[in-house]
Amino acid sequence: MGDKIDPNLWSDGAEPHLMGGRLPSGQIVFPMPQGDAAQGVEPYKLSRRGKLWSWTSQGFLPKEPYEGPGSGPGEGPPDFQPYLIGYVELPGEVIVESRIVDARLEDLHLGMDLEFCIVPFNAVHDTFAFRPVAAAESAEEFRAA
């Protein structure tokens, strides 16, 4: 795996979690505020599982400067591959915008169970995404066999 695209986005360890913050009011936010905005905010490990709240397919190259799949050394916009993006509700916590991996657009449905995962962002960095729980459980079963 590569380096984190942002060292503060998720925790380290065997079961990483996105890192949000708990405001003095008790409200959960993501990402964890930094600098002066973090005063009084407690780091908070977000749930690894959530429900698909909304989604779409990113079928065209995002605005410049674009960094991501198809933007590493020796790559460029001709290598761009459409990807899924959605909002994942982490019940009782927050709604997170995320890439959706290990799924096809036609497989997605409202309320679908998703799980946090780490995926390559470009040739150097990793980022976070969510994937269907069934895909995650299948991968774990495969590794265990």
Is 0.95 surpassed by the pTM of this model?
no
pLDDT by position in tens, the chain (length 145): 678 888 888 999 889 999 999 999 999 999 999 899 989 999 999 999 999 999 999 877 766 666 655 555 444 556 677 889 999 999 999 999 999 999 999 999 999 999 999 998 877 889 999 999 975 554 554 444 4
Q: Is the dihedral of CA 134, 136, 142, 145 positive or negative?
A: negative
The answer to whether 118 touches 10, Cβ cutoff 8 Å, is yes
- Bond from prior residue into 31 cis (ω within 30 degrees of 0): yes
Per the structure, the complete domain to which residue 21 belongs is given by 3-144
Please give the tally of structural domains in the chain. 1
